Chain A
């Protein structure tokens, strides 16, 4: 194909004139914005580690950080799609509270009457009911927005008040506890982690998937004779990807169970208690695994499916999308239904982690979720945003918070810092984007 050779020449001519750093980024096609965020996060981590005298970058703290991030990270993936289509969802925290309370009552009070306590099906029935309820609430919001033309800001502001109020009415404000034993695994902890061996297996599978997807992408481009990345860049990307995955697994695997739990476990299983204590690794926590799987699924939806393409097209130019024959209203309904489902997942994680469903669960989560998406590069003007960025944004927010807790900073000051960071991050992003043009 004449075209391809032209492009290749053109690219080579262009890259020869660039400095090595630029050439490196062009070859690897790494998103420099995302890289900047990773850099900012590392600075935050190292800063806190220094200030706390080495308490931040420990397997224990990083493991806890990952678990604390899971719930908001899950919701942030959906918030990206909402914001990309120039909408907003202020009700996610209240939906989380309401769905969490319903799931709590279902598994702690209603289902045991029918199935008996700790029935193996309790958790799945509860979860499915929660997901359906979340989707239904989201779809209701979406329909009011799409078909009655009420702005999403108002609809979900109403939702924020309504569902928080509804949460109270479910039990007249009473906290529901404890949760079903299996359900509780979704919250993490020693039980809710998959252990060292399984973590390594997950890590290796992830590495295989990374390599396979890079090879597949290259094959596809070869098939149609498109320009491809240089081979060294492919090796580099595979290497970096696998190193990150395996590094994360290694950290999760070097955080042992607390001594008293390990001792109980040893006694229960007839293992002799060794001198230096028994080292049983946590491994990856189940909520983190859930969040990662959801991140992958949402990325797939956003980039590989027609629905995702429509979401971005609507965000870029709603009129063009409509004229191209896209059923924009139904896409909106589906986005909000999806958001509601993700709130239900987040509700499961947070009620399981707390081992209770409370009235105040998820309060202010809408703001952290929006902040995570926006820090992660989702543009409020619509049309731009990535799932991975939003999840990273959630991790940055959580890092700040738990770092400040570690330093013993008072909670009013924590909020001030988080607020300042949010505004600064978006300001820096605006400058970056203006330059990138």
Chain B
């Protein structure tokens, strides 16, 4: 890359294996402020695993994570949040049986001076944030279980942006959504980008990716096939990277690139 700024996130030579299977093998990716980097690949290519290492859900076997150029110690989700890394998981990871405000503040509840939960303050803040994301949302008193897929999605996204994230990880953020809600998420990503937040976007939808991402990193069998700027490659070329590991001329090949005979 010609970019001389310090990357927001640099994951270098990350490896992790589960019972002898190399889920992620010597993978490196980076992310700059105000940039959207899409991670692409088949199911089981290792994208989600790589990203879960960054969000603290898994512990890497080898490799290094730099945040703003400095080595970061990430052992669990709490550590990741300290570095301003927020994640929206594919499974949404909301507690179904409690209401939206409780989910937004899960693990970081507001408390009154007496140490009790300040539900009213949390609900007030939840109403404010949700009002910005999804003005039609009114069901603050009901457990999240009662909400539609899109509403649950807004809860998960609101939780990520509520705490001034600098790095946002979105694992299939639109998988459960209808077209209108997908468009809303797209708008939101653009807005967050303008605010200087770096976003890792994991998606299967190549159209989404070309709409939103500045760069793509493609993974296959746990290895990085290559990186490319979206303006330098076509959708077919990216598909070629995903399916065959074939790296187009304008992309930078990684360790997983198909060896040219």
Interface residues of A (CB under 8 A from B): 3, 6-7, 10, 220-221, 223-224, 226, 300, 303-306, 309, 312-317, 319-326, 383-384
CA distance A314 to B116 in the complex (A): 19
Give me 16 A-to-B residue pairs in the complex whose CB atoms sit less than 8 angstroms apart, sorted by A's number. Answer: A221-B120, A223-B120, A303-B117, A312-B95, A313-B95, A313-B102, A315-B97, A317-B95, A320-B91, A320-B94, A322-B57, A324-B95, A324-B107, A325-B78, A383-B95, A384-B97
CA distance A6 to B131 in the complex (A): 12
Asked if A313 contacts B106 (CB within 8 A), the reply is: yes
Q: How many residues of B contact A (CB 8 A)?
A: 33
Selected contact of B96 from candidates A3, A223, A383, CB within 8 Å = A383
The interface bits of chain B over 74-108 (1 if a CB of A lies within 8 angstroms of the residue's CB, else 0) are 00111001000001010111111110001000111
B57 (CB) vs chain A CBs: closest residue: A323
Q: A223-B120, A326-B107 are in contact. Are A321 and B97 (CB under 8 A)?
A: no
Asked if B117 contacts A306 (CB within 8 A), the reply is: yes
B87 (CB) vs chain A CBs: closest residue: A323
- Nearest-neighbour CB distance to chain B for A44, whole angstroms, equals 30
Of listed A315, A325, A383, residue having the most chain B CB within 10 A: A325
CA distance A322 to B81 in the complex (A): 13
CA distance A322 to B76 in the complex (A): 9
Give the residues in chain B near A224, CB-CB below 8 Å. 120-121, 123-124
Selected contact of B97 from candidates A319, A323, A383, CB within 8 Å = A383
Asked if A312 contacts B93 (CB within 8 A), the reply is: no
Interface residues of B (CB under 8 A from A): 55, 57, 76-78, 81, 87, 89, 91-98, 102, 106-109, 111, 115-117, 120-121, 123-124, 127, 131, 138, 143
Chain A contact residues: over half helix, strand or loop, or mixed? helix
Give the residues in chain B near A326, CB-CB below 8 Å. 106-107
Give the residues in chain A near B131, CB-CB below 8 Å. 3
Asked if B123 contacts A305 (CB within 8 A), the reply is: no
Asked if B117 contacts A312 (CB within 8 A), the reply is: no
Selected contact of A316 from candidates B77, B96, B120, B121, CB within 8 Å = B96
- Nearest-neighbour CB distance to chain A for B198, whole angstroms, equals 20
Selected contact of B93 from candidates A304, A315, A317, CB within 8 Å = A317
Give the residues in chain B near A324, CB-CB below 8 Å. 77, 93, 95, 106-107
CA distance A323 to B91 in the complex (A): 11
- Nearest-neighbour CB distance to chain B for A411, whole angstroms, equals 39
CA distance A319 to B94 in the complex (A): 9
Give the residues in chain A near B78, CB-CB below 8 Å. 325
Asked if A305 contacts B117 (CB within 8 A), the reply is: yes
